[in-house]
Amino acid sequence: AQSVTQLGSHVSVSEGALVLLRCNYSSSVPPYLFWYVQYPNQGLQLLLKYTSAATLVKGINGFEAEFKKSETSFHLTKPSAHMSDAAEYFCAVSDSGAGSYQLTFGKGTKLSVIP
Amino acid sequence: DSGVTQTPKHLITATGQRVTLRCSPRSGDLSVYWYQQSLDQGLQFLIQYYNGEERAKGNILERFSAQQFPDLHSELNLSSLELGDSALYFCASSVEEGSYNEQFFGPGTRLTVL
């Protein structure tokens, strides 16, 4: 069974500071990994995804994530936080095995950006 | 705007009642997924349909059922509602089935059971 652990349910950073949101996964087969963002009262929007090509994945809004198999991690980073980045971020995993198409989500990390 | 639409946006009902949530996938997407988001359980996968056929089931209660129609829209039926069913229900769609495919999420239906 696959699972996702997001360390820190709430992260606060100053505007302009580095954003680092942590995600560790567990999967019995090579995983596909996703980061989604949820703004208040909205659905989830895909930031980026890892599908076994490059280990460093660039996404929208200046975010990127690095897949590290040895650490079973897929942490999300952004060099300089902007006020508009305040939202909840979800890491998700999907097995590459046949018949396993659903996403398994972490509990989410709420990002606050302090002006 | 993801292109996935969900109706209604809000639903308030009483325990024991039955409701139907509707989802229209993005144009051309054949696969539809339903997820439940609650404070205690987080985001959980309920069920997936592909081109009208059920493909995968997650933590879906027996009181819940879903279907996908020939025009590819999907409905999630929740019956004998309990207070604990209060949650945000999301529908997502993807072009094909397959775990590498990006899923596009609708804005959700917020269900409140009183």
Alpha carbon distance B59, A42 (integer Å) = 23
pLDDT tens for residues B45-78? 999 999 999 988 888 999 999 999 999 999 999 9
The shortest C-alpha distance from B67 to chain A (Å) reads 17
User: Omega into A115 within 30° of 0, i.e. cis?
Assistant: no
pLDDT at residue A99 above 70?
Answer: no
**Would you state the pLDDT for residue B64?**
97
Q: How far is CA A45 from the centre of its chain?
A: 11
For residues B95, B4, B74, B30, the Cα torsion angle rounded to the nearest 10 degrees is -10
Closest of B108, B93, B89 to residue B27, by C-alpha: B93
Closest of A41, A26, A25, A101 to residue B102, by C-alpha: A101
**Would you state the pLDDT for residue A97?**
59
Going by pLDDT thresholds of 50, 70 and 90, the confidence category of residue B31 is very high
H helix or E strand, kind and range, residue B77: strand B74-78
CB contact under 8 A, A46 and B99: no
**Would you state the pLDDT for residue A45?**
94
Mean pLDDT for B8-35 is: 96
Tokens of A79: 């060099």
Mean pLDDT for A9-24 is: 97
The shortest C-alpha distance from B108 to chain A (Å) reads 6
CB contact under 8 A, A95 and B99: yes
pLDDT at residue A100 above 70?
Answer: no
Q: What's the alpha-carbon Rg for chain B, to the nearest Å?
A: 13
**Would you state the pLDDT for residue A36?**
97
**Would you state the pLDDT for residue B59?**
83
